[in-house]
Structure 1
Amino acid sequence: MSASDNKIVNQENKNSADIITWREFEALRNEMRREFRTQDDELKGTVDEIKQTLDATNETVTGLADQMTDIQRSIADMRLAIENLAAQQQQQDDDEDHELEDDAHNARGAPRGHRPRGWAPLGRNGRGQDEEDGLGKPKFSIPKFEGGADVEEYLTWELKIEKLWSLHPNYSEDRKIKLASSEFDGYALRWWDSLVRNREDGAQPIRTWRAMKEAMTSRFVPTNYLRNIFDKLILLRQGVKTIDEYYMEMEMLMQRGRVRESLEMTMQRFLNGLKYDVKGIVRHYTYTNMNQLLHHAREAESHWLKKQRLRDVLRELGVLHRAPSTAGAFDALRSLLYSA
């Protein structure tokens, strides 16, 4: 058989091997159907789970929205209630002020034993004559404030007012504002009058002493005030100051800056700012509080000053050769040694 005949026979055998029977085709078709059905069922299950998750999420979001609505409604009700209470308190304070004035006016013309019913020489809430007179005026003096450019003027005024309120805790907020502003003068008086008028035109009025302080601090204390205080405190050194002058300046800066730190940090701050020679002496002492450290620093400063005077005397003895000056130097040295 020739080569061409072999090629034809091989091709025929190949074609006959590629042909499948009908039964095999049906089996393959059924298998593919089952596979498609399985995949379709799994896909439907996944879609159903996603739908359930979305439904649950929608319910959660709806519930949260309802809760937010309830919270906002509650906040609005609380705000309205607070405003009503504040208005009632303001009205009550005003009524009490008028009653005090009327009672005092009627009492001045009434004979003893025939004073108006319920009249008593007391301020609001029974403060007594030790705080107010019959006209409702305080018996203590309110510090004046003119509103200058000096920040310390305002801070000192605020501190004095705070001391007064701590001694007279029964005053209402409205009473505190009226008393504090009663001694305004100069620029402070004009500024406060303008502020009150602007608040009456629509802005929230000042009804508490705290709100009054915030408004005054915003106007009379620069925003960089604390930074400047901290810078001064960090750079503070004894220099030519005495121990007590140096410590008082450090203490004042810490009070103005409202610095709160441990005792160890304060003592270390004080020690680092001392003169080099004084610091070298103090380091040899033992101390556990600021008073002990101050005592040792004063002793070290006194010792250092005596050494300085002794050096000056010795320098004069070594440089000047005239007899009067030398005799004067010996006298100074003798007095220094005896004083030691």
Structure 2
Amino acid sequence: MTTDTMFGFRKKDPAPPADAPSRAGLFDRLRKGLAKTGRVLNTDIGELFRRKIDDSLFEELEERLLLADVGVDATQRIMDRITRAVKRGELKDGDALLQALEQAMTEILEPVQKPLRIEPPPGKPFSILVVGINGAGKTTTIGKLAHHLQADGFSVLLAAGDTFRAAAVEQLQTWGERNRVPVIAQGTGADSASVVFDALQAAQSRRIEVMIADTAGRLHTQHNLMDEIRKVRRVMGRLDPDAPNEVLMVVDGGTGQNAINQVRQFHEALGVTGLVVTKLDGTAKGGVLFALAEQMGIPVRFIGVGEKAEDLQLFDARAFVRALLNRGDD
């Protein structure tokens, strides 16, 4: 019998790891990671919400949401909800306004709070194709994901499909050594589809439960490179008609509204099934999650708020909003 872990995977051993971080520790890490975006949203927010609830307060709140890259559509939805509550006489003071803001923001994110379920098909590996542009953090995310999967009792194999950068292959091999996970790789410049094909074949023959494939970072506007990654997907399908089981796109939270165009292009080309939004600790633009949720509606599997393996966290809409607003985890 299997049970779910706090990380969202299907776990073979029901006992959690002895060194598993507590929920309180995870929230504290999340809050610290989101500090820069939080400062944009709530610098002097106590003073803001102690003011008279009027048009000038709403204008300043709307400006802060836009500065945090929440996006026009999501900001409008949040502000509409709050102003309707004011008209109904529901917001009598700053505390009520802050609570209404939290609820409005959470409602935008909750529909995309869908954890990745790792359930390998009988006799086949669960295959994950990781995509995104250069610098988004794909290879690091793969290493962290492999760490968590192993902690949950899965056997894992990695494919060094980013053959355009020697450093990417070396980086993935380093993660493989650190986690004691096999890495299938070829030389720099090798055909990426061939590497991934070999890795999927190896995972099948070795009865590995999860195969994760790295891919070359490419701009969504480079159509020839997008064609290559389509080829990777087609080649995987020759070995397993259901492969890849997950197309996981890694998005740099610091790219702001450009992330929307990136996700849209990759989704049209590959059918993205899940998102990882990284580097939220290094940007004041973490509000892009709201824009992604509002415009794309693709499940957000994980967020990255730091360099350590535990800084790749399962996305929790309510915890994310409360961390942004520095509301505590209760």
Instruction: Return the TM-score normalized by structure 1.
Output: 0.24
Greater relative contact order structure (CA < 8 Å, 6+ sep): 2
Structure with a larger share of its residues in helix: 1
Structure with a larger share of its residues in strand: 2
Instruction: Return the TM-score normalized by structure 2.
Output: 0.25
**Larger Rg: 1 or 2?**
1
